[in-house]
Amino acid sequence: MNDGDVILQIRALYKTYELGKENLVRALRGASLEVARGEMLAIMGPSGSGKSTVMHIMGCLDTPDQGEVWLEGRRVDKLKRHELNRVRSRQIGFIFQGFNLIPTFTAAENVALACEYAGMPRRKAKAAAARALTRVDLGDRLSHHPSELSGGQQQRVAIARALVNEPAIILGDEPTGDLDTINSREIMQMMRDINKSTGTTFVLVTHNPEVAAACDRTVCMRDGAVLADEECRPD
């Protein structure tokens, strides 16, 4: 794999959280990983293995204590707050386990908010939101509030929100964790379709072997490090 094909790379990341004075959690201990452009990658591993921390750092929500993060050929781990905000709004999309929609906003407003943060004027953002929601088959639910939508539909709104700015990479933190089997499959299928049709890179943190199986590649994490592919075993 040459460098041009790598969209995201983490090198020897270390991260320690201080929960209390004497209670240090060493979440990452030298995690390294390369993600190829256009691939759909699953990260598996037991709770506390550092999956979420890796995802937060890859998504520029958090910074490592040590190590490097390269996104589309640019080092992003040392960026300032406002630069990280910009990277998040334009190059990265998030899909969370709990959907994380703003409850007082309609589906369209939730999606449009991402466009506005990426610098789009309000009217354009509205149109883009409508297009993205149509893409996830929610074109008829634009003015529904999250509470009026099923879990699967809410997660589809979140997908629309993640892809509306055409980011380089979409990061999913247990995207099917709160969904039943049928909805899980539907959501997984939708992400697969988007990955195929747009070439958007996906990195999904998951416990679900079915999700992992649908991905191009699976890596495992244990004790704050990414294991070599062959060491990976489903939990």
Partner 1 sequence: MRTVKNVFRRKLRAFLTIFGITIGIFALVVMGSLAEKITLLVNGGTRFYADKVTVSQGGSAGFSVNPISVDRIPAIQAIPGVRLASAGITLPLDKEQSASFGVPAMISASDLRGRNLESFKLTYSQGRELSPDDQGKAVVGADLVQKLNARVGGFIKVRGRSFQVVGILEKTLTIPDDAVIIPFRDAQNIFFNDLPELVQKNIKPGMLATGLTIYPKPGVNPDRLAEEIGKKYPQYDAIGPAKFQQQVTNSTHIFTTIVFGVALISLLVGGLSVINTMTMSVYERTREVGIRKSLGASDGRIIRQFLGESAFIGAVGGITGLALGWLFVLAANKAGEASGTVIFLLTTRLAIGSIAFAIVLGVLSGLYPSWHAARLNPVKALRYE
Q: Where on the chain is the footprint of partner 1 (CB under 8 A)?
A: 56, 59, 61-62, 81-82, 85-90, 92, 94, 96, 100-102, 104-105, 113-114, 117-118, 161
Rounded to a whole number of angstroms, the minimum distance from the CB of residue 61 to partner 1 is: 5
Q: Which helix (H) or strand (E) holds 66?
A: strand 66-71
Q: 């309000």: which residue's tokens?
A: 122
* Nearer CB in complex with partner 1: 101/191: 101
Q: What is the DSSP letter of 227?
A: P
Rounded to a whole number of angstroms, the minimum distance from the CB of residue 81 to partner 1 is: 7
Q: How many beta carbons lie within 10 A of that of residue 115, not counting itself?
A: 22
Nearest-10 Cα torsion for 229, 175, 178, 226: 30
* Nearer CB in complex with partner 1: 155/218: 155
Q: How many beta carbons lie within 10 A of that of residue 60, not counting itself?
A: 22
* Nearer CB in complex with partner 1: 17/180: 17
Rounded to a whole number of angstroms, the minimum distance from the CB of residue 209 to partner 1 is: 25
Q: How many residues does the chain have?
A: 235
Residue 20 backbone phi and psi in degrees, to 5: -140, -175
Q: What Rg value do the Cα atoms of the chain yield, rounded?
A: 17
Rounded to a whole number of angstroms, the minimum distance from the CB of residue 101 to partner 1 is: 8
CA–CA separation, 103 vs 129, rounded Å?
A: 17
Residues paired with residue 118 on neighbouring β-strands, in sequence order: none
Rounded to a whole number of angstroms, the minimum distance from the CB of residue 88 to partner 1 is: 4
Rounded to a whole number of angstroms, the minimum distance from the CB of residue 5 to partner 1 is: 26
* Nearer CB in complex with partner 1: 2/47: 47
Q: 């899909």: which residue's tokens?
A: 95
Q: Do the Cβ atoms of 106 and 142 come closer than 8 Å?
A: yes
Q: Do the Cβ atoms of 44 and 219 come closer than 8 Å?
A: yes
* Nearer CB in complex with partner 1: 125/214: 125
* Nearer CB in complex with partner 1: 95/212: 95
